[in-house]
Structure formats: structure tokens, C-alpha cells
Chains A and B, each alone.
Chain A
Amino acid sequence: MSTPTTTDAEALIENLDRKGPMHHFHHALHKYPWISPGIVLVIAIVIFGLINHRFWAISNLSLITQQVSIVGAIAVAQTLVILTAGIDLSVGAVAVLASMVMAKTAAEQGVPGPLALILGFAVGAAAGALNGFLITKLRLPPFIVTLGTLSIFMALTLIYATGRTINADKMGDAANILLWLGNPIQFGAFKITFGVVAMILLYVFFSWVLKNTAWGKHVYAVGDDPAAASLAGIRVNRVLFSVYLVGGIVLALAGWIAIGRVGSASPTILPDANLDSITAVVIGGTSLFGGRGTMFGTLIGAILVGVVSNGLVLAGLDQAYKVLAIGVLVIVSVALDQWIRKVRS
């Protein structure tokens, strides 16, 4: 190693003509795909604040985190699925179904709070397992499977709930536990809820798991190239199934966060959570083709959507501009991903 060999020298030359400033930027984006949405987020916060100074108020900024807590939690499950090159259209329906089970068993069967929670989590896990089963055992594409289960879970929710909202006062003693995540933590004007903390912990936990466990590496490998992963000895179907199962449990937690935030369990909330979560994931720099992306990016994506939504109201602009802005962000993100993937080889 002390004396450079021919190959060393050649590699050096090769590296030299590669390393322009564009290359550095490309390389950085490649390694940290959340950089670009992060930059957009900072710009958005500056601009919205300049338009209306109230936007910068601590109370408003902490409010945004509360507003993104439900979709933020749902997007954790969506990130896992998209990392495996899948897509889950049923995420919102699963979260709402789990929340209705929690609230309704408590309100109507008088099930104690902790047990009602466990039932909700069990339903979330079962829903995820059903998706995973259909995708791995029947070998159906995730898009089709979750399109079908989206309708199924939505219909089950409406039939089970008979279309009705269950308010906190109907939940009896269980209300304390079911609404627990709605409790605020306040430091002066800065106010977040336990639900926000729960969402952030989800991100911290899954970031760690993806980076530091074999399972995490396998999730990336399966999404990157399932054939290669299989040849490398990874049981691809087992990894896929586990992703949907774990996703279902995360979605039940999102349902619990929703009860705490809204203060009731309603079968009609979150109608667009599937697209909203996909949006957050994509804006966050995770590739729809699987195998690359980070939890942190998704968190930035979710917050960015929340910032745009809140900022436009404060700016007095129509919500149609929000839809427009987010559409542009999605296209830019996907185009950027394509560019990042075009690595020199």
C-alpha cells in the first residue's frame, strides 16, 4: 500500500476528473437524500414567515408538528413499504379502522382502556398481516393488493362504526388512556402533545433499526434488488411480510395518535392519508423504486407538507395553491431521485 500500484494511480486519475463541484453535490445527495427537501423546508419557513410574521410564532411552529403527527406516523409505515419497492394504499384505512376498534370496544362493550388499545393494535397487525400474506403468498403486486384492502378496510370501518363518530365522553373510563396521546407538554408558547413525541420516537426508533440491524439492511436489499437479495441468502418473502406486519402495528399507533389529537374516533377522517403519506415519503427523498431513502427524509417531507398547508392559510392563499405546490414538490423530488440514481459507473 505504501507504493502506489498501477491500479491505484489509474483510480486516482479516474477520481480526479470526476470530482467537480457538481460531483460533490451529487455525491452528497446520494448519501443524504433528505438534503434537498431540507433546503426547501428552510426556504419555505423563511418565505412564509416573511409574508406573515405570525407564521414564525413558536405557538404556530409547534402547532404544525401537532398537525403532522397523524400523517407523520402513518408515513413511517409507508416509508418501510416503499423502501421494499412496494406501495400501501390502505394505510389510512388501517389507522382509522384500528382507532374505531379502540374507541368502540371501550364505548360500547365497556372494554377497559388498555385492552381496547391492545385490540386496536391487534387489528392493525392483522390488517398488515393480510396485506403481507396476499403480497408474499399469492404473489400479487402491492398496488393491487392494497387497492383492494383499502376498500375492504374502509367498508369494514363504516359497517362496524355504522358511520358514527365516537366522542370522548362516550368512551367512559377508557377515555384517559385512549386520549392520553392528546395531552400537551408545554414550555411557554411551545406546546406539543404526547402524540407528537410518539411520532418523533417512531422516527428515531425506525431510523436506528434501519441503520443498525440486519433486518434494516435486508429491507433495503429487498427493495433494491429482490433477486440479488435472495441470492445473497435473504428470505425475501419473510422480510416483505414482516414489513407489512410491522407497518400495521405502526398504523394502529397512528390511529391512537389520531384519537388523542381529534379527541374522538371518527370513521370519516384521513380520507387522503394514503396519498398524503406517499407524498411525504417521496418529497423526503425516498425512491419509489425501493432500496434507498431515510426515515429522517420522510419526517422532513411530512413537516414540509404541513408547513406549506399552514403557511398558505396564513398567507391568505387558497388551499388550491397548496395542492399545486405539493404537486410541484412531488415532481421535483421524483426527478431529483432519478438524477441521483444515475450514478456514474
Chain B
Amino acid sequence: MKNRVTRGRAFAAVAAVGVLSVTLAACSSGSSSSSTAASAAPAASAAASAPAAGGDVAVSLITKNQTNPFFVAMAAGAKKAAEANGVTLTLASGKDDTDVAGQVTAIENAVAQGQKGILITPAGPGVNDAITAARAAGLLVIALDTPTDPASIVDITFATDNFVAGQAIGQWAAGKLNGAKAIIARLVITDKDSLTVDYKRDNGFLDGMGIDIKDPKVMGDEATSGKYTTGKGGDYEIACLVATGANEEGGQKGMEDCLAKNPDINLVYSINEPAGLGAATALKAAGKTIGKDVQIVSVDGGLSGVQAVKDGTIGATSQQYPLKMAEYGVKAIFDLATSGTKPAVTEGKDFFDTGVVLCTNEPQTTVTAAEQKDAQYCIDNAWG
């Protein structure tokens, strides 16, 4: 999910204008997946066009799109691992974030070509049947970043634990406050609990601060004021919970509205760094000194995001690793094909956690959910 969500929303919105758009997408999607693969990854598609010789391991990476830096990083990771292991890699994607039909076509192509496995960031439950069929045909299917619904459809999921990513920044924030009262603004994607990434990060953040989150799948059901318990602990007050679409403009507007409601906000949770940076613009315009009057925390770890950690705009952010997801995924399929070893889930979770690192220049002793690294380390390891 993350900032990619915004594109999905745009397309959904257009679809809402007329059924026609849906028809168009459906009509064009069949050809789109193969053509985008060819254009975006000439090397890979050239390899794919030659049938894999017996014994060769061929893998498809099917993302939601091929323009978002997050997926670009994922493709780079897959290529790296493919070269290292001598795996033939095919890149494919839907036309856009909601193009299920394009992904289905790509899955069917992988099966038809006799590939060993598929790495996929599913665009929606519509791909489930195709995945089941692919597994029945003997392919190993791994979900990357986004779990399928239900998660058991695929062999295994390699993803960030978004709840843990949220916990890490919550713990950091509590440590940073050092007992002071927290007046919290929460900038989420939508406020309708419809996106797993949205409620997991948000609830993880509150949980990290030591606030009772009640239902972990629902945002905004916690008490609007009370005590946080992490670190020294103290009073907290929820100033607002606003939808931002996870982009700069939405983050800015949301923050402005929150400040109008409560000008004393001193802690801002943002779904991702673009929303966080938008909030920073609004806070500066309101005369706040970021880092002193107010702290911004976030999740994602894209390059511009961790650069903002370096210059002090964002206090801490949990960095995730799309590159690793793809690398591990390719390796897992290679291992299965060559030695029969199946990948295993992380202990205590129903997926393989590719881990997060908390990027901050002011590490706090309260942080236990993730390892803390300085901004420079994160810049060196950032995607996009």
C-alpha cells in the first residue's frame, strides 16, 4: 500500500464516474501486462521470450505497476538475486494498482511458460483463483509486501510487519516526549479502516506509545485522552484523525485542519513520509519549530523520506525493504527448485517478516520493536 494507494484511489474514483472506464480497463488489460513487461525490462523479457531450458529456474515478478519507486526497487532486488542465482526473471505488472485482470494474465503466462514460481504484490482478491491454479500446476507462489486475502492462498508472504513498524515510531515518540503531555495528530490514508496498512501502522503507533488501542483493526476507537505508558509515561490527547490520501498535499491540508482545531499539537503520526512532509509544510507555516515544538514520525523509508530524517524534519521513520522482499523471494523459489527446501514463516507470525529499521538521529532507549540506525545508514539503504 503506502503512497501507491493514491493512484488506486484515483482510478477507483474514475471508475465511479462511469462503468465505461471499468470496461475499458478490462478490455485493455489483457495486452497491457505483457507489453509493459517488455518495455520496462528489455533484458528480462528477452530472457523470458526464450523458453527456459530444462533445469533452468524461471520466475515471474508481478507488481501493481512499474513506475512507483517502491516497485522499481523491488524489481531491482529481484534482478540482483536472479543474476546471483542464475534465475531467469520475467517482470510484469497490471496497468495500474487495481488492474487485477492484467495480473491474472501475467500469472497464466508464467504457468504456460513452465516457470518455477511467482512473486506477486496482489492487486486484489480477484487474483486468488489464478494463484490457486498456478499452485496446482506446481508453481511456488509468494506474495510480496501485500498479503493476499486470505493469506493462505499463497505459499508464503514476504512483507513488512506494519504493526511493528508503527510500534517502533510510537516507542520512539514516547521516549522523546520523556513524560511530557502528548497532543497527537494522526494523518492516515483514509479513515475508514479499509486498508490493512492504514490501521496496522496507526494502531501499532499508539500501541508503541503504550495507549490501549482496543480493536487492532479499527482506528479511532481508543479513548480520546488518557495516559500513555511507554518510557516515563504521561498524559495524551488525540487532537485529530484525518484522511490524507498519503500524499504531500493531503498531508498538508490535514495538518492545517488539525492545527485549526488544536494549535498545541506536539506529535504528528503520518502514514508515510510524503504525508509527513506535507504536515511539515503546514507546521512551519503555523510558526512551529519542527524537532522542538513538534515531532513528526512516519513509516516507509523512501529516499526523500530518510533525507528528511537527516535534516531533522522527520524525527523518526520505520524503513522497510522492498528490495529484500524480492531478493528473498527469488532465492526462496531457487532453493525450492534446486534443493526442495521450502521457506518458513517468521516465528510467531503468519508471514516472513523482511524487517524494519528505525531511522533516527536521536535514538531512544524506549525503542524495542526495531533496531535503531542513523539517517546516513538509512539513506544508504533506502529504496527510491
* A interface residues (Cβ-Cβ under 8 A, vs B): 52, 54-55, 57, 59-60, 63, 66-67, 70, 89, 92, 143-144, 147-148, 150-151, 154-155, 158-159, 162-165, 167, 184, 258, 261-264, 266, 268-272, 274-275, 309-310, 313-314, 316, 318-320
Contact = CB atoms under 8 A, between A and B. Distances in A.
B9 A268 contact: no
B80 interface: no
Interface in B230-247: 240, 242-243, 245-247
A165 B280 CA distance: 15
B277 A264 contact: yes
B301 interface: no
Contact of A271 (B10, B16, B70, B260): B10
Nearest to B260: A60
Contacts of B20: 143-144, 147
A89 B240 CA distance: 32
Given A54-B261, A314-B261, A262 B17 contact: no
Q: Which 4 pairs across A and B sit closest by C-beta, in order of nearness?
A: A271-B10, A158-B67, A313-B257, A269-B249
Given A162-B72, A271-B245, A167 B67 contact: no
Contact of B242 (A59, A155, A263, A313): A313
Nearest to A68: B253
Interface string B328-341: 00000000000000
Contacts of B240: 313, 316
Nearest to B242: A313
A240 B325 CA distance: 51
A163 B68 contact: yes
B69 interface: yes
A163 B9 contact: no
B191 A266 contact: no
B21 interface: yes
Contacts of B261: 52, 54, 313-314, 316
Given A57-B260, A268-B6, A313-B242, A158 B253 contact: no
Interface string B1-24: 001001101100110111011001
A86 to B, nearest CB: 14
A150 B95 CA distance: 13
13 contacts: A52-B261, A66-B256, A67-B253, A143-B17, A158-B7, A165-B304, A184-B285, A262-B278, A271-B7, A272-B13, A314-B261, A318-B192, A319-B242
Which of B10, B190, B258, B274 has its CB near the most chain A CB atoms (within 10 A)? B10
A160 B240 CA distance: 36
Nearest to B253: A67
Given A57-B260, A147-B21, A163 B72 contact: yes
A268 B274 contact: yes
A263 B251 CA distance: 12
A140 to B, nearest CB: 13
A262 B14 contact: no
Contact of B14 (A52, A89, A162): A89
B69 A266 contact: no
A309 B261 CA distance: 13
A321 B96 CA distance: 28
A44 B3 CA distance: 32
Contact of A320 (B9, B17, B191, B277): B191
B249 A70 contact: yes
B248 A155 contact: no
B105 interface: no
Nearest to A61: B260
A147 B24 contact: yes
B281 interface: yes
B308 to A, nearest CB: 9
B141 to A, nearest CB: 26
Contact of A269 (B192, B248, B258): B248
Given A268-B246, A310-B260, 19 more contacts: A54-B261, A66-B256, A143-B18, A147-B24, A148-B24, A158-B7, A163-B72, A164-B384, A262-B278, A266-B247, A268-B247, A268-B248, A268-B274, A271-B13, A275-B16, A309-B257, A313-B242, A318-B192, A318-B220
Contacts of A158: 7, 65, 67-68
A326 to B, nearest CB: 13
B252 interface: yes
B250 interface: yes
B250 A269 contact: yes
Nearest to A322: B243
